[in-house]
Amino acid sequence: MADNYTVRKITEEELDLLIPLTEDAFNKAVSLDYFKWKFSSNPSGKVVGLMAFSEQNEPAAFYGLMPQIFVVDGEEKVFYQACNGMTHSNHTRKGLFKKLHVVGDRFLQDEAKTIGISYTGPITLKSKLFFGWKKTAQFRNFFFPRQLMFAPSKKGLEQVVEMEELNPIEDLLQQSNGSARIHAKKSAEIYRWRISNPEKTYKVIAYKDETGQYHGFVTYLSEKDKILVFDFYFNTKQAGKTLLAYLKRIVKAEKLKGIVSQAQDDSYYAQALLSYGFLVNKTNKGPLKGTKPFTILVPNSDQEVMINSEYWCLNAFEYDAE
């Protein structure tokens, strides 16, 4: 059982221990550069990595806490998002998730004295709630299938520019979620780090009018058979129509299945996607179904504000898995 395992924070020099653990848990090869990027170069701080070791000193399970800067009523605060939770197949059903979770929650409450956040799957939701985490918002897939893309308009496509630098659109990055009482900080520095994931290739396009003013952006990546919209913001209807038409033309040309974007229900992102014709699957069957709860661990004194979903504005930018 879990009593036969020890838990400690791993150091930057031990990040290579995560490679075989990830390969076993997810059947996925990940480079050391990925863990160095995610765990060590984050402008918001370094990941707290908790690892359980067997009596033979074998890496058995892992639970990470990734710092993210959020702005709450104008004040910057560092939250920690649960990330990279995994257990080696040789050590399942030993209570290691609970053991790591308890240590992680103790760090949040006693050492960091801050708030924990998590995009929680259906399997772990009950455990999160048992440990005192609160469900606040819902995360959902929005999609635009290729079958509904009828000859995307070429109008205005000359206004779409690929962005090599983010400074010209930093104001738009911040406007994208800045009206919410609780929102992630999107400085050019943080954003640049966020999209430099060595395992993915992000592209940023923006709508630039004849006067040189920017009115919207989309950050996206092509993955497998679809385009994933990672983040976006439009301050004019034309900017949104044109940037999405640009993506639709890629889908048609490359015969992809469509465009997918993840966003919090009832947020700016959800409302914007629906207004541009994106669909949702609210059934329990079929592709892109269901929701992913957003949960938080928060002191009782802060719960009135923090558990109110209307105060948040979330999309894939905040979600560590994207």
Each residue's pLDDT tens digit, 35-44 = 999 999 999 9
Taking residue 208's Cβ as centre, other Cβ atoms within 10 Å add up to 20
For residue 94, give every residue at least 6 positions away whose Cβ sits within 8 Å of its Cβ, in sequence order, or none. 1, 2, 4, 5, 60, 87
Geometric angle at alpha carbon 173, from 167 and 177, rounded to 5°: 160
**What are the CA-CA distances from residue 135 to residues 96, 185, 298, 307 (Å)?**
23, 22, 11, 7
For residue 287, give every residue at least 6 positions away whose Cβ sits within 8 Å of its Cβ, in sequence order, or none. 281
More confident residue, 287 or 66: 66
Taking residue 108's Cβ as centre, other Cβ atoms within 10 Å add up to 21
The domains spanning 2-114 and 141-275 adopt the same CATH topology: yes
Assigned token pair, 257: 């299945």
Instruction: For the chain, state the CA radius of gyration.
Output: 20
Confidence (pLDDT) at 1: 65
Neighbouring-strand partners of residue 309: none
Question: Can you say whether residue 4 is alpha, beta or left, with left for phi > 0 and alpha for psi between -120 and 50 degrees?
Answer: alpha
Tell me if 160 sits within 8 A of 242, measured CB to CB. Answer: yes
Confidence (pLDDT) at 295: 96
CATH number corresponding to 2-114: 3.40.630.30
Q: For residues 7-35, give the mean pLDDT.
A: 96
Q: For residues 19-25, give the mean pLDDT.
A: 97
Tell whether the model's pLDDT for residue 136 goes beyond 80.
yes
Q: Where are the domains of the chain?
A: 2-114, 141-275
Note the helical H segments in the chain: 18-26, 32-40, 96-106, 122-130, 170-175, 188-194, 237-254, 268-275, 303-306
Mind listing the pLDDT tens digit for each residue in 280-315?
998 888 889 989 999 999 988 788 889 999 999 999
Q: Which CATH superfamily is domain 141-275 in?
A: Gcn5-related N-acetyltransferase (GNAT) (3.40.630.30)
For residue 204, give every residue at least 6 positions away whose Cβ sits within 8 Å of its Cβ, in sequence order, or none. 162, 163, 166, 169, 195, 217, 218, 219
Cα within 13 Å of Cα(165), Cβ side: 2
Confidence (pLDDT) at 6: 97
**What are the CA-CA distances from residue 134 to residues 87, 298, 306, 307 (Å)?**
24, 8, 9, 7
Tell me if 294 sits within 8 A of 264, measured CB to CB. Answer: yes
Assigned token pair, 296: 């938080």
Q: 88 by DSSP, 3-state: which?
A: coil
Tell whether the model's pLDDT for residue 208 goes beyond 90.
yes
